[in-house]
Amino acid sequence: MTVTEEPYHNVVRGRPTCLAPQQSSLPTNTILKRARSKLGKWQYQLLSANCEHFTNWATGLNVSSRQVKSTLSGAAIAGVATAVFVKEPSFKMLLTMTVIGGLTGLAAAQLPIKAIQQ
């Protein structure tokens, strides 16, 4: 899977959108030029080159993913907490709690920044 350019209405399909919490200091034409330079070249990788990484790169921001960080953090916290606080947890329990923690972290990353700050 790689980057493609699609019309705005095809991408959002009527869903609400919002401005990113961090705004780029680059001019719009520079951002578009950077993004278009990777059409067909940016190889998607869930943990290191996903949509959020691409957007941050194209806008000249730090290449990172709040979604990945939150998911991995939630999984790690839930897994460690289960191992520490549950006497002799089974592998199935550890795995289940780790997955639940990861999904919770991912859900938290989807909240708008304003909702988190309030």
pLDDT at 67: 85
Q: Which domain holds residue 32?
A: 8-58
Q: How many residues does the chain have?
A: 118
pLDDT at 116: 45
The DSSP code sequence of the chain is -B-----HHHHHTT------SS--SS-HHHHHHHHHTTTTT-B-BTTTBSHHHHHHHHTTS----HHHHHHHHHHHHHHHHHHHHSSS--HHHHHHHHHHHHHHHHHHHHS-HHHHH-
Tell me: do 47 and 80 sit in the same domain. no
pLDDT at 118: 39
- Provide the mean pLDDT of the chain: 87
Our count of domains for the chain comes to 2
pLDDT at 81: 93
pLDDT at 22: 72
Q: Which residues of 7-28 are buried (b: 16+ CB within 10 A; e: fewer)?
A: eeeeeeeeeeeeeeeeebeeee
**What tens-digit pLDDT sequence spans the chain (118 residues)?**
788 899 999 988 988 887 777 788 899 999 999 999 999 999 888 888 888 899 999 999 988 888 888 889 999 999 999 999 999 999 999 999 999 998 998 888 777 655 444 3
Tell me: do 33 and 12 sit in the same domain. yes
Tell me: do 45 and 87 sit in the same domain. no
Tell me: do 38 and 72 sit in the same domain. no
pLDDT at 54: 92
